[in-house]
Amino acid sequence: MRRFAALAVVAFSSLALAACSGSDGATDAPATVAATAPAEASAPAEGGCATSSEAGAVTVTIADFAYEPAEAEASVGDTVSWTNEDAAGHTATLDDGGCDTGTIGGGSSGALVFNAAGTFAYHCTIHPTMTGTITVTE
């Protein structure tokens, strides 16, 4: 029985590692994953933002595993949209964990509405080397 359990752990670990790496070693989410956003903006999080299904007044493009622009500006109350042009799924997650778009599949968008002024650093939880900043002013 112990041998079967050990074999099952090794097999599962191998499958999990294989599923997470592409031919270039980068981790990819399925291209069919759509953005997860509620029908309306949710209550503001501690970070001063909330998920939204509205089109953004400010748009950030995700292409070639990078945010463009990497530094964007918005006003309090603005919705910021991230449009994913990559095949791999990405997120826009505030570094403080206050807000997250959820996984944005290729060809999809996700959005956050910012309800407080400040500078908000963010990253992709799937590809942590992807980083950006939103500066929100009154």
| 16 closest CA partner among 27, 24, 5 | 27
Residue numbers in the chain where pLDDT is lower than 50: 1-46
Q: Which helix (H) or strand (E) holds 13?
A: helix 2-20
Q: By C-alpha distance, which of 120, 112, 122 is closest to 137? A: 120
d(CA 22, CA 43): 37
Strands of 1-137 (E only): list them: 49-52, 58-63, 66-68, 71-75, 79-84, 93-94, 109-114, 118-123, 131-137
Distances (CA, A) of 68 to 3, 59, 60, 114, 129: 50, 9, 6, 19, 14
Q: How far is CA 86 from CA 16, 28, 106, 107, 127, in A?
A: 22, 10, 5, 7, 12
Q: What pLDDT is attached to residue 7?
A: 42
Closest alpha carbon to 119 in 72, 82, 78, 83: 72
Block residue for tokens 């505030």: 94
Q: What pLDDT sits at residue 47?
A: 53
CATH class of domain segment(s) 30-137 = mainly beta
State the pLDDT at residue 40: 37
Domain ranges of the chain: 30-137
Identify the pLDDT of residue 37: 36
pLDDT at 123: 98
Per-residue model confidence (pLDDT) at position 53 = 84
CA distance 92 to 5: 38
Q: What is the pLDDT of residue 128?
A: 96
